[in-house]
Amino acid sequence: MTQAVAKKELTQSERFMNMVVSNFSSGVGEVALTNFQKRLAQNYFISLDASLKLAEEKRQKSSRNSQSPPIIWQNVNMEKLSRDVVAHARIGFDPAQKNHINMVPFFNKTLGKYDIGFVEGYRGMELKAVKYGLDVPDRVIVEVVYATDRFKSFKKDRNNKVETYEFEVINEFDRGDIVGGFYYHEYFQRPEKNKLVVMNLKDILKRRPDRASPEFWGGEKDVWEWDDQKKKNVKKGTETVEGWYEKMVWKTIYRAAHGDVTIDSQKIDDDYMRLRQAESEFAEADADQEIAENANREVIDVTPTAEPQQSTADEETPKPQPEDKKTPEKAGASPNADEMELDF
C-alpha cells in the first residue's frame, strides 16, 4: 500500500530565491549562481522582508490606508520584483551595505498587488557612476564650506592649465554657518581634465526635495496625537527639530558629484536599462501620488522645475497627514534617497 507523499510547501524565502535564480538563468539553461550572487539575493530578501513588515505596521495604524490590502509577500508582484532584484544585484547594489539601495512597497491598482520601488542611496550612485561612467575620475572630493573657512577656486584659463582650488579650515570647532560647498573630479595622469564645481548655498538648497523631511533637514514638523473620540490622528501643533542639516547638505553635494559623471553608452547593458525602467515606473507612481494629494486644491502647479525632484517621505519617521486629505493607495510615500539612512 502506497501512501501519497505530501508535497512540502515552499517558504517565502525559497520561492523568492527560485524566481531570482530563474531570472539569473535568463532562459538559457541552468546557470549556477556564484556565492556572491546568492548572498546578494539573500540580502535582498532579508531587507525587503523587514521593509514589508514595517510598512504593514504603518498601514494598520493609518486609518486612511487600513482598507488597502495587507502589505505581505503574498500581495507582492513577485515576477517584477525578481527581475528588478536580478538587475540591481548584477550591477552590484547590496541592500546590506549602508546607503547602497533601499526598497519601498507601493500599491499597483492595475494589478491589485504591491510593486517594489528601488531608491538609490548616495553610495549607490557612486557605484553606478564607476561601473557605467564614460570618464570616471580617479578621485572625487566633496566638501561643505562654512563662513569661517578659506576657499579660493582657480579656474582653467590660458595661464592656468589645471583647474584647482585652495581650501583651509580656520576654526575646526566653530566654523559658522554653511555658505556653500564644492566637488572636485581629479585625474591623476591627466590633471588637465580636473573639474571643479562650486555651489553656493542657494544652489545646494535648490536640490533639496520640495517635501524634505524636517527629521533630516531640520525645521518645524506637525505634532499628531490619536483622538479616541474621533478615531483618527489629530494635529496638536508643531515642534522644531534639529535634524541632520549639515550631513544632508554634504550628501546633496555628493550625489551631484557622482551624478555629474557621464554614462558611457557602450557600457549600457540590459541590467542598466532595467534599472532605468524601474526608476521610470517608480517616478510615474510618485507623480500619481502628487496628483492625488492635490486633487482637492484649486490650482495644481505642474510647471517643471530646473531639476527633477525626488519624493521625500522618510520611511523611518513618516510625517502624518490630515485625514481629509486625499492620498493614493500606497504602502507609504516614496522616500528620497538622501533621507533613507542616518548612517553617514
Comparison of pLDDT for 6 and 200, the residue scoring more: 200
Asked if 122 and 99 count as a contact pair (C-beta separation under 8 A), the reply is yes
Domain ranges of the chain: 12-128+272-339
Q: What pLDDT was estimated at residue 33? A: 67
List helix spans (H) across 153-269: 201-206, 214-217, 245-259
Confidence grade of residue 262 (pLDDT, cut at 50, 70, 90): very high
Task: Please write the tens of the pLDDT for every residue from 123-172.
Answer: 999 999 999 999 999 999 999 999 999 999 999 999 999 999 999 999 99
Q: Which range (99-103, 248-252, 302-306) has the least confidence?
A: 302-306
| pTM of structure | 0.76
Give the CA angle between residues 278, 284, 289 to the nearest 5°. Answer: 130
Residue type, 152: K
Q: Of all residues in the chain, what percent carry a pLDDT higher than 90?
A: 47
Residue type, 256: A
Q: What pLDDT was estimated at residue 340? A: 53
Instruction: Measure the CA dihedral 268/206/208/156, to 10°.
Output: 50
- Listed residue (291, 314, 68, 63) closest to 211, CA to CA: 314
Please name the residues in contact with 128: beta carbons below 8 A apart, sequence gap of 6 or more: 91, 120, 258, 275
Asked if 101 and 93 count as a contact pair (C-beta separation under 8 A), the reply is yes
Q: Of all residues in the chain, what percent carry a pLDDT higher than 70?
A: 77
Mean residue pLDDT across the chain: 80
Confidence grade of residue 187 (pLDDT, cut at 50, 70, 90): very high
Q: What pLDDT was estimated at residue 167? A: 98
- Listed residue (279, 277, 288) closest to 108, CA to CA: 288
Asked if 138 and 185 count as a contact pair (C-beta separation under 8 A), the reply is no
Question: What per-residue string of b and e applies to 213-237 under the rule 16 or more CB within 10 Å gives b?
Answer: bbbbbbeebeebeeeeeeebbeeee
Q: What pLDDT was estimated at residue 121? A: 93
Task: Please write the tens of the pLDDT for every residue from 315-335.
Answer: 333 333 333 333 334 444 444
Q: Residue 298 burial (CB < 10 Å; 0-12/13-18/19+)?
A: exposed
Other CB atoms closer than 10 Å to residue 296's CB: what's the count?
Answer: 9
Asked if 13 and 44 count as a contact pair (C-beta separation under 8 A), the reply is no
